[in-house]
């Protein structure tokens, strides 16, 4: 597997404060990689090191297989959590100016500007000033500035902040489209639902250390609890529940069922396969629902940070 970015043994201190400690991360090309962590975990320091705003005390960063160089910043697009646009400058002139700083000719910049204005449904904003825009509207301009030079790596820090659900979905679709066209996205956000929906890989930092990383499906497999949602249609609910309690651990169930059918969350021992369990259930009633309860990214986040604390 090829990686757009590799961090090897990255450590960084600010005085006596350890911001990062021996961080190893590999970000595969053409993926969406979610970096998570509580406030103060080290995410911002890691992003600053990638952008060469600050340098690590130890370790190295490889960009596209080679030690990262100052010129590589031209291949990186960075959307910071704290946005920065010239408020009294016209939107179109500002995007053109910033795009040319990224190495585009004026014609290239103008062609791409019109493309992105159309994609984000803001065709008539060219002559508006930033101070005339709402927070969400200004956020669209900041997003365009980040992606207009077609960088290999996009670093998006809370990219959905300030957006209503419709525009958040519009930006989400554009991010996925950029990935499908070859870009790699490093996504930093506290909104776990976006990590869950969009990311191929995740990493979790806490108190300067990496707690976990990997393909999101593999991480979820590591946190499986062997709990299954179960619902049956039966006239003998008490007998069914008594039978299952004698053999398995039953947990409260809050999912909805059809017409009030009996329901429970059942924790299976590792020695019993789901098919074996279903075979045992079939004589006891009509199975109307059976589903493994997989841990959400939010649950993995909370559990991992609590255990680390």
Helix (H) or strand (E) holding 196: helix 192-198
Is there a contact between 57 and 12 (Cβ–Cβ < 8 Å)?
A: yes
Asked whether residue 58 is assigned to any structural domain, the reply reads: yes
Looking at the structure, tell me whether residues 127 and 250 fall in a common domain. no
Asked whether residue 168 is assigned to any structural domain, the reply reads: yes
Measured distance CA(214)–CA(211) in Å, rounded: 11
Looking at the structure, tell me whether residues 209 and 275 fall in a common domain. no
Q: What CATH number is attached to the domain comprising 116?
A: 3.40.50.300
Predicted local confidence at residue 132, as pLDDT: 84
Is there a contact between 227 and 265 (Cβ–Cβ < 8 Å)?
A: yes
Predicted local confidence at residue 46, as pLDDT: 96
Looking at the structure, tell me whether residues 81 and 183 fall in a common domain. yes
Asked whether residue 208 is assigned to any structural domain, the reply reads: yes
- Give the mean pLDDT per block of 10 residues along the chain (309 residues): 94 94 96 94 94 94 95 92 76 88 90 92 84 83 93 94 90 96 95 93 96 95 92 86 88 81 89 89 88 92 89
Asked whether residue 298 is assigned to any structural domain, the reply reads: no
Q: Of the candidates 206, 165, 173, which has an alpha carbon nearest to the alpha carbon of residue 38?
A: 206
Asked whether residue 96 is assigned to any structural domain, the reply reads: yes
Looking at the structure, tell me whether residues 187 and 261 fall in a common domain. no
Predicted local confidence at residue 27, as pLDDT: 97
Domains in the chain: how many in total? 2
Looking at the structure, tell me whether residues 229 and 217 fall in a common domain. no
Residue 122 CB contacts under 8 Å (≥ 6 apart), including other chains:
137, 140, 141
Looking at the structure, tell me whether residues 31 and 180 fall in a common domain. yes
The structure's pTM equals 0.88
Domain boundaries, position 264: 225-293
Strands of the sheet containing 76-79, edge to edge, are: 76-79, 153-157, 184-188, 32-36, 201-206, 209-215
Asked whether residue 149 is assigned to any structural domain, the reply reads: yes
Looking at the structure, tell me whether residues 28 and 63 fall in a common domain. yes
Asked whether residue 204 is assigned to any structural domain, the reply reads: yes
Q: Of the candidates 237, 283, 286, which has an alpha carbon nearest to the alpha carbon of residue 264?
A: 237
Asked whether residue 304 is assigned to any structural domain, the reply reads: no
Looking at the structure, tell me whether residues 132 and 173 fall in a common domain. yes
Predicted local confidence at residue 81, as pLDDT: 76
Q: Which residues of 153-177 are buried (b: 16+ CB within 10 A; e: fewer)?
A: bbbbbbbbbbbeeebbebbbebbee
Is there a contact between 1 and 33 (Cβ–Cβ < 8 Å)?
A: no
What is the sign of the dihedral through the CA atoms of 42, 44, 46 and 49?
A: negative
Looking at the structure, tell me whether residues 100 and 234 fall in a common domain. no
Strand partners for 22? none
Measured distance CA(21)–CA(56) in Å, rounded: 10
């Amino acid at each position: 597997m090829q990686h757009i970015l590799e961090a090897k043994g990255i450590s960084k201190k600010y005085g006596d404060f350890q911001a990062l400690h021996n961080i190893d991360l590999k970000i595969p090309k053409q993926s969406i990689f979610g970096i998570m962590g509580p406030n103060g975990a080290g995410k911002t320091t890691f992003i600053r090191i990638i952008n060469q705003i600050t340098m690590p005390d130890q370790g190295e960063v490889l960009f596209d297989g080679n030690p990262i160089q100052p010129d590589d910043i031209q291949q990186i697009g960075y959307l910071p959590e704290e946005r920065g646009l010239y408020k009294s400058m016209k939107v179109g002139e500002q995007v053109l100016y910033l795009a040319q700083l990224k190495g585009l000719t004026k014609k290239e910049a103008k062609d791409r500007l019109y493309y992105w204005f159309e994609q984000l449904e803001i065709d008539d904003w060219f002559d508006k000033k930033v101070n005339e825009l709402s927070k969400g509207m200004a956020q669209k301009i900041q997003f365009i500035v980040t992606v207009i030079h077609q960088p290999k790596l996009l670093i998006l820090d809370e990219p959905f902040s300030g957006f209503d659900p419709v525009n958040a979905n519009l930006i989400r679709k554009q991010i996925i489209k950029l990935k499908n066209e070859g870009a790699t996205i490093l996504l930093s956000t506290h909104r776990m639902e976006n990590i869950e929906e969009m990311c191929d890989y995740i990493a979790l930092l806490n108190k300067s250390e990496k707690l976990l990383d990997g393909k999101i499906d593999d991480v979820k497999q590591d946190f499986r609890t062997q709990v299954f949602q179960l619902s049956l249609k039966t006239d003998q609910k008490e007998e069914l529940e008594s039978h299952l309690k004698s053999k398995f651990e039953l947990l409260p169930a809050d999912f909805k069922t059809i017409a009030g059918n009996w329901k429970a969350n059942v924790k299976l021992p590792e020695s019993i396969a789901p098919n074996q369990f279903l075979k045992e259930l079939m004589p006891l009633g009509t199975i109307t629902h059976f589903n493994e309860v997989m841990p959400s990214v939010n649950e993995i986040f909370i559990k991992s940070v609590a255990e680390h604390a």
